[in-house]
Structure 1
């Protein structure tokens, strides 16, 4: 299958990232008027770099000025490879170092160093710049990265750099396109005549035109009206691709950068995350307990506080720190997501790391909490498997391998031996605890339904499961329900599901009046009044009449002749038996009248009801009995 990658340009302001991007792609990513006037990248710029039958590569041009650090983090968080741009005439600069810190904290694994503007300096000076860069890159992800010498104006080395990028990415694994779709939004705008458009890098999963989506954490429902990849219409978009999505039924004011577009509600919305962080190094200020911070995660920037459990402050720590971030606003995240922490004032990158558990709770200060966080961080294979399934409720073996980074030889013994795992549908795994929870949820829903609708025989499977499909896969719900029916926890009556011991009944507060109504109806025999008169005399409110009448008909207590006249079923059965006994294979209306001694206002509806029920068949003026 075709694979999709996004690379980023990072480095100091005015070191030629945008010019290099244009040389590689022939696209000027400085599209804003302010950018043109100031010759500085303010927003993220995107361009297509390369495409063949195997891969498609996009470029993110990341702003380099310190003021635009937020945009830089938003752009780099979804990339697969970084080109670190260093100008030959200036060498490593402050923003080069800050970008290096952030790239390392975000866990970027693949890099190429591009030394630009080489036509401006002598060859001997380039060697000095390379030595300077080499020293700066020691201990960073770029320490072993290859160097490329380029000049974006003369195009020297551009083709070689492009080939190196392509060759490097062809060796990488692509992102997971099998899971639920997730796209952190980094741009929102409107197009006249089209409406709201969002743009971002697909973190995981895939999307197709027309697909139902949700904007989280706001919980807004929408639909992908149209997709574009680099200004070209696309029916699908996959993990690793830059995509613009035209959303229906939603305004630009409803969405903002930092929101996440998802295809499933299984993603976790949270304000408290357990994390593992590393300090950026060379901090100017001490980071104190519960100090306000800015957390950059995905494309979101959220204020919050850092909470330590084994210290009250930190500075220049080399080791990993297990702690917690308590945010002022909700975010969408999952285990393994990377983030950056910055001091809001004075501005400084504090550190960064990854999410251990998006469902953080309040813990006591002390070593015991650190030990628990360490266990949660490491996570045994079994715990990682359970956490992966808990997140989306159901996974195939392939999806488990992808999400846990465990191979099949590690997974299968646990799946086959541990009672916590449940194989169903011939291809998917869930947890016994999830099965039990769904079963309990269905039971509670059925119990509430019986309480609210005691006269109904039950609820249809579709109506019962539909509200739960926002939380669980449909196939899993159907499996749990069928298993519960087989074990007689629930029963199926025609198309209806009901609790094992449930029987439809008249509500207790109206049961006595309904019994009186039936006694009167039975007493009147064949010569009944309008059915509405019986309900009125019994004192049953009009709003209850349709439900009680339907119940009595379905339970074969009363039988309709037409919309106005009803007989007690005992009389109806007696009339059919008597007519059948005293007539031959066929009869006319007069024969029936002689047998039952009924006036036309009862006789005609009665005979037409027999026809409708398939007991008789009318042929001209006669009716014949239909044998069953």
Structure 2
């Protein structure tokens, strides 16, 4: 069974006991900054692992409760699967409780547990009043009906029940699919002495492996995942749903900021204009006029922008959704369906939230035509929905496509059939589909990787198939890689020789830099005939790098320019063939050591290994003290 990974958010008003409750559950103090210790409040999100009975991997994010740190709170809860809303029994629902609730709903968090904390400070009547107050506030929201647990973190009351409730609720959460391209919105960046730049975040999609080549967006900087840690433990890889720290190579801390996104492919859009579905809050706020400045929180980024309406001149508290556009001052990385929070910069207040319907918007005219276009884009045509699902997950079975698109099976099959006919979709296996453009992309990736490999290792027959598949698996599921390799092989773009894969036009060759010196070594080997020196002796006095010696050895053996006589001795093909011809002419169908020695005029030092090589190549067959020429000896060696 696949391992599961979840991230839990600990939200609520300041001083309601979120950090203390996190420590009681995990035995980890998430307030790590000096200022946090001195002031007794959380400023940055803190993280701790929660041990589960079924082996699921769970991280708890303790987000700041103070209204001054709402930016950090939003960054902290981005990507969580379940929230524990902490409400102190002696204070009840407070302003930050309300704002956190609004933010969580706008971010699409569907699973919630209410933890009523500090119960040792109140009597039963007060606890009942607080519970009723919370129930009234949650009525009609997505968290209506969420489970309640009364706890006291210091005495330990209710902690076992809370843990049981957490484990039960996590079983209802659909864990993140590790397929799809790797995406990690960064919420923390720092340096570690002797290690360099380290970033942290919760992985939204895909898998990252140690050594992976990544891109930092929106800057487009290439980096390498030198080391991966999950809760201070080094891992070979990390996947969707995990809270992860990655030590990056090739970049300075000053080049990375909170809100940047690490990705493993170019599937992601960098944009400064997003078309959105905006749901205003119902509470009173000063109307937001057309083209007013706004602050957008999406993922872990916080960006200023301008709101643009196409059917009104101001935004007021309302229950209905508004289709509009946000033109940003800086580029961000988003996908269709990503959630965002909209806030007013002055006076600071939450205005609403929603989701992205088009990551890369354009300039549109005010009026019904644009509104109809946005509505159509919001609803998405069947083809749009299929393309979006396949773009995100690369390869999906029919049942998975139905789940991702919510299309009727007959409509979906018709859409797939027409898309295949038009060359948009591929059926890569019975009832498994992908996009033609994704095949084109992986084709470019494969050919590019092979070209780089051939340049680095020109004497090798190609890259091992397993190594190639592994290098691509961070960005593509293995079934799609296998399909692509088969398609490329059938189309003549690549060739497969045994376990090796190479470009169809590639042939192993000596590197240009050392070609002359290597040719001299090969010529010396040929000149020595059967009476060769140890292979290493041919390199004495030459400037050839030591790493190139085994490369040249394998090159000569794989291209059949030489044969291995002993572990430390090679014989040139020409010398070998001449010796075989000489031996055939000087012996009968069967011969012994004496006849062979007379025919070749060499000592036993060379004779025995040569005869054993003939046996190994099936040119001769040994029967007691005699060797017999085989039928294979009459063919080309």
TM-score above 0.5:
yes
* Distance in 2 of aligned mates of 1:251 and 1:400: 41
- Residue of structure 2 in register with 1:187 after alignment: 188
Residue 85 (structure 1) aligned with residue 86 (structure 2): yes
Aligned-partner Cα distance in 2 for 1:7–1:92: 21
Deviation at 1:391, TM superposition (A): 5.8
Q: Return the offset for 1:180.
A: 1.0
| Counterpart selection for 2:429 from 426, 431, 437 | 426
Matched, 1:320 2:321: yes
Secondary structure (helix, strand or coil) at the match of 1:256 reads coil
* Structure 1 residue 8: Cα displacement: 0.6
**Distance in 2 separating the partners of 1:189 and 1:402:** 40
How much has 1:413 moved relative to structure 2? 4.6
Which structure 2 residue ranges, 5 or more long, are not aligned? 449-461, 463-471, 494-502, 507-511, 513-571, 580-634
Partner of 1:197: 198
Partner of 1:152: 153
Q: 1:181 to 1:433 in 2, by over 3 A?
A: closer
In structure 2, what is the Cα distance between the partners aligned to 1:211 and 1:262?
10
The answer to whether the Cα contact below 8 Å between 2:113 and 2:147 also exists between their aligned partners in 1 is: yes
Aligned equivalent of 2:48: 47
SS of residue matched to 2:51: strand
Q: Cα 1:25–1:485, aligned 2, differ >3 Å: closer, same or farther?
A: closer
Q: Structure 1's 618 and 106: CA in aligned 2 closer, same or farther, altered over 3 A?
A: closer
Match runs of 1:81-160 below 5 Å: 81-160=82-161
Contact 2:179 2:393 in 1 (8 A): no
Distance 1:25 1:393 in 2: 37
For residues 235 and 402 of structure 1, the distance between their equivalents in structure 2, rounded to whole angstroms, comes to: 31
| Distance apart, 1:319 and its partner CA | 0.1
Equivalent in the alignment of 1:161: 162
For residues 461-482 of structure 1, the C-alpha deviation after alignment (integer angstroms, 9 at most, x for no partner) is xxxxxxxx99999778777777
Q: 1:348 corresponds to which residue?
A: 349
Conserved 8 A contact 1:425-1:479:
no
SS of the aligned residue for 2:274 comes to: strand
Alignment length (residue pairs): 488
Query: Using the alignment, how far apart are the partners of 1:91 and 1:369 within structure 2?
Result: 45
Q: CA deviation at 1:246?
A: 1.0
The answer to whether the 8 Å contact 2:390/2:434 transfers is yes
Instruction: Report deviation, 1:171.
Output: 2.4
Q: What is the CA-CA distance between 1:433 and the residue it aligns to?
A: 7.1
Matches within 5 A, 1:380-395: 380-390=381-391
Q: Distance in 2 between matches of 1:223 and 1:618?
A: 52
Q: CA 1:25 to 1:390, structure 2 compared with 1: closer, same or farther past 3 Å?
A: closer
Q: Distance in 2 between matches of 1:137 and 1:274?
A: 30
* 1:295–1:475 distance in 2 versus 1, CA, 3 Å: farther
CA distance in 1, matches of 2:488, 2:294: 47
Q: Distance in 2 between matches of 1:108 and 1:64?
A: 18
The answer to whether the aligner puts 1:31 opposite 2:35 as a matched pair is no
Cα contact 2:336–2:357 (8 A) shared by 1: yes
Cα pair 1:5 1:174 within 8 Å, conserved: yes
Decide whether the 8 Å contact of 2:52 with 2:167 is kept in 1.
no
What SS does the aligned partner of 1:155 have?
coil
Assess, with a 3 A threshold, how the Cα gap between structure 1 residues 181 and 391 changes in structure 2: closer, same or farther.
Answer: closer
| Separation in structure 1 between the aligned mates of residue 207 and residue 504 of structure 2, nearest angstrom | 36
Distance in 1 (CA, whole Å) between partners of 2:49 and 2:118 is: 23
Structure 1 distance, partners of 2:113, 2:311, is 38
| Alignment partner, residue 374 of structure 1 | 375
Give the whole-Å Cα distance in 2 for the aligned partners of 1:377 and 1:356. Answer: 5
Deviation of residue 484 (structure 1)?
A: 7.1
Whether the 8 Å contact between 2:428 and 2:434 is mirrored in structure 1 is no
Residues 268 and 481 of structure 1: CA distance in aligned 2, closer, same or farther (over 3 Å): same
1:331-360 superposed Cα distances (whole Å, 9 cap, x missing partner) = 111011000011111101111000111121
The verdict on how the C-alpha distance between 1:399 and 1:254 changes in structure 2, with shifts beyond 3 A counting, is farther
Matches of 1:243 and 1:306, distance apart in 2: 34
The 3 A distance-change label for structure 1 pair 221 and 114 is same
SS at match of 1:51: coil
The 1:481–1:57 alpha-carbon spacing in structure 2 relative to 1, beyond 3 Å, is closer
**8 Å Cα contact 1:83/1:114 also seen in 2:** yes
1:310 aligns with 2:311: yes
Q: Deviations over 1:220-251 (max 9, x none)?
A: 11111111111111122121111111111211
Residue 124 of structure 1: SS of its match in structure 2?
helix
Distance in 1, Cα, partners of 2:475 & 2:398? 21
Residue in 2 aligned with 1:296?
297
Q: Secondary structure at the match of 1:166?
A: helix
2-side partners of 1:162 and 1:122: how far apart? Answer: 23
Contact kept? 2:210, 2:228, Cα under 8 Å: yes
Question: How far did residue 158 of structure 1 move?
Answer: 0.8
RMSD, aligned CA: 3.8
1:424·1:479 contact (CA, 8 Å) conserved in 2? no
- Deviation of the 1:141 alpha carbon: 2.3
Once residues 146 and 471 of structure 1 are traced to their aligned partners in structure 2, the CA distance between those partners, rounded to angstroms, is 38
Specify the alignment match of 2:457 in structure 1: none
CA distance in 2, matches of 1:339, 1:480: 40
1:23-74: CA deviation from partner (whole Å, max 9, x where unpaired): 1111111110000000000000000112344411110001000010011111
Instruction: Please tell me whether Structure 1 or Structure 2 has the larger radius of gyration of its CA atoms.
Output: 1
Distance in 2 between residues matched to 1:209 and 1:410, nearest whole Å: 42
Q: Is 1:217 matched with 2:246?
A: no
CA distance in 2, matches of 1:471, 1:2: 19
Q: Say if 1:13 and 1:368 are closer, same or farther in 2 by CA, change over 3 A.
A: same
Gapped regions of structure 1 (runs ≥ 5)? 446-459, 461-468, 487-493, 498-545, 547-611, 620-626
Q: CA deviation at 1:185?
A: 0.4
1:480–1:324 Cα change, 3 Å: farther
Residues 432-485 of structure 1: CA distance to partner in whole angstroms, max 9, x if unpaired?
67779999x99xx9xxxxxxxxxxxxxx9xxxxxxxx99999778777777877
